[in-house]
């Protein structure tokens, strides 16, 4: 009972502070979710929100459905995105359209990709009620499986569960664009912003920063969302670089995957592992018979820095006796490159992209190449 009173006063306070209509349907169960955010045990009907008279909807945790409701935060995101009146803006996960409606006021066109058709209905209704539907194009599909149309910039509060592959799709995809202003989970944003030597620096930052500059915009409190998530958020702006180093991206991803498999180990220790040398020997152009079968894995799938590039290799066949001599020679060659270049005692977590690019070029000169696992 006390909690209900507290919860209701909180909503009233939000109404007064922000001067916006109450959006919550205060139902029996909503008090529970108010307090706790999503219910971990029940991912189905978890929270009903009400967008004024324009529809109401239950939100799903599995789809990252956290609605950003603070108009001041929404305005700041749009302002910091520097949207031009001639722009086509790509928005991923528009939800019920709080951000979309603001974008439609400043951009020429908004293309929104939303997986949930219930959200699409509400979004189209809200845009139509304001006479903005002609400038809105909605694609009701999974953004990861959809080819993006041409766009000038991205502005989005994306579902956090797909941050890595989505950012990879933006920065390594074929579309050229000016910037991507994204609301991300705070921890993820910190990893993206991290520099060599920072504890959060990992392969995610290394790969993205090869092709883009990342700008911190602002932190956003979890209390600015409905329902209240467990984590805080941050807005960052990704600026694709005009001059990208000329490097084979597949090889770069495979190289950083190997280096960052243990980001705090020295490179000497990482590359001296028999298994690592064997994998490289098999994949190197010197012996790889299957060069054309290179497979590109998700470039960020080790962002938690777990050693998930450890291939499931049958130990018996890890280094067959006939291969032992060849492998030892190859490993000596790798270590020689590291020793003569002064990289043997260095740790990948402290190296800049320029240093990593230089090391890769030295490996290549010695005939050592990196590929993702051959199929
Ligand atoms: C964090 S909510 C953001 C909603 C809205 N933009 C806002 O700021 O309030 C994420 C939205 O992305 C949608 N979504 C989740 N996975 C998606 C996917 N793979 N492709 C497109 N949309 C997706 C969800 O349905 C949800 O509407």
Write down the ipTM of this complex. 0.99
Tokens encoding 276: 């690592």
pLDDT, tens only, 112-158: 999 999 999 999 999 999 999 999 999 999 999 999 999 999 999 99
Long-range pairs for 289-293: beta carbons < 8 A, 24 or more residues apart: 290/374, 290/375, 291/371, 291/374, 293/374, 293/375
Residues within a 6 A CB radius of ligand 1? 63-68, 92-95, 98-99, 113-116, 119, 142-144, 157, 159, 162
The residue written with tokens 């190449």 in the block is 369
Coil/strand/helix, residue 181:
strand
How far apart CA 305 and CA 262 sit, in angstroms, is 7
Q: Which residues contact 31 (CB under 8 A, 6 or more apart)?
A: 3, 4, 7
| Residue located nearest, by CA, to atom 6 of ligand 1 | 94
Expressed in angstroms and rounded, the spacing between residue 99 Cα and the centre of ligand 1 is 11
Expressed in angstroms and rounded, the spacing between residue 32 Cα and the centre of ligand 1 is 23
- Is 42 annotated among the ligand-binding residues? no
How far apart CA 116 and CA 271 sit, in angstroms, is 46
- Is 75 annotated among the ligand-binding residues? no
- Is 342 annotated among the ligand-binding residues? no
How far apart CA 331 and CA 271 sit, in angstroms, is 8
pLDDT, tens only, 48-92: 555 554 557 889 888 999 999 999 999 999 999 999 999 999 999
Give whole-number Cα distances, 298 to 86, 110, 162, 353, in Å. 34, 28, 12, 19
Coil/strand/helix, residue 89:
strand
Of 3-7, 237-241, 249-253, which gets the smallest average pLDDT?
3-7
């Amino acid at each position: 009972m006390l909690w209900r009173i507290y919860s209701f006063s909180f909503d009233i306070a939000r109404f007064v502070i922000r001067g916006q209509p109450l959006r919550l349907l205060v139902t029996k169960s909503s008090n529970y979710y108010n307090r706790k955010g999503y219910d971990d045990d029940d991912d189905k009907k978890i929270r009903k929100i009400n967008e004024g008279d324009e529809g109401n909807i239950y939100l799903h945790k599995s789809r990252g459905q956290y609605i950003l409701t603070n108009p001041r935060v929404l305005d700041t995101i749009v302002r910091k995105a520097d949207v031009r009146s001639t722009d086509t803006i790509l928005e991923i996960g528009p939800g019920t359209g709080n951000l979309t409606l603001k974008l439609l006021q400043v951009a020429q066109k908004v293309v929104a990709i939303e997986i949930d058709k219930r959200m699409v209905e509400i979004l189209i209704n809200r845009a139509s009620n304001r006479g903005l539907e002609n400038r809105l194009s909605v694609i009701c599909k999974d953004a990861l499986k959809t080819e993006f149309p041409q766009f000038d910039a991205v502005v989005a509060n994306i579902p956090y569960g797909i941050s890595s592959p989505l950012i990879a799709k933006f920065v390594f995809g074929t579309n050229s664009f000016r910037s991507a202003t994204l609301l991300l989970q705070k921890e993820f944003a910190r990893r993206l912003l991290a520099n060599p030597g920072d504890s959060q620096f990992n392969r995610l930052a290394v790969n993205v920063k090869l092709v883009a500059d990342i700008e911190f915009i602002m932190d956003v409190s979890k209390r600015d969302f409905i329902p209240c998530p467990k984590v805080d958020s941050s807005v960052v702006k990704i600026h694709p670089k005009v001059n990208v180093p000329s490097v084979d991206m597949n090889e770069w991803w495979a190289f950083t995957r190997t280096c960052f498999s243990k980001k705090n180990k020295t490179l000497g220790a990482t590359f001296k592992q028999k298994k690592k040398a064997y994998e490289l020997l098999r994949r190197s152009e010197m012996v790889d018979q299957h060069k054309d079968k290179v497979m590109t894995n998700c470039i960020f799938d080790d962002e938690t820095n777990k050693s998930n590039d450890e291939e499931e290799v049958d130990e018996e066949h890890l280094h067959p006796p006939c291969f032992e001599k060849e492998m030892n020679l190859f490993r000596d060659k790798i270590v020689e490159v590291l020793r003569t270049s002064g990289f043997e005692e260095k740790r990948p977590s402290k190296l800049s992209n320029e240093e990593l690019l230089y090391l890769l070029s030295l490996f290549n000169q010695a005939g050592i190449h990196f590929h993702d696992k051959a199929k």
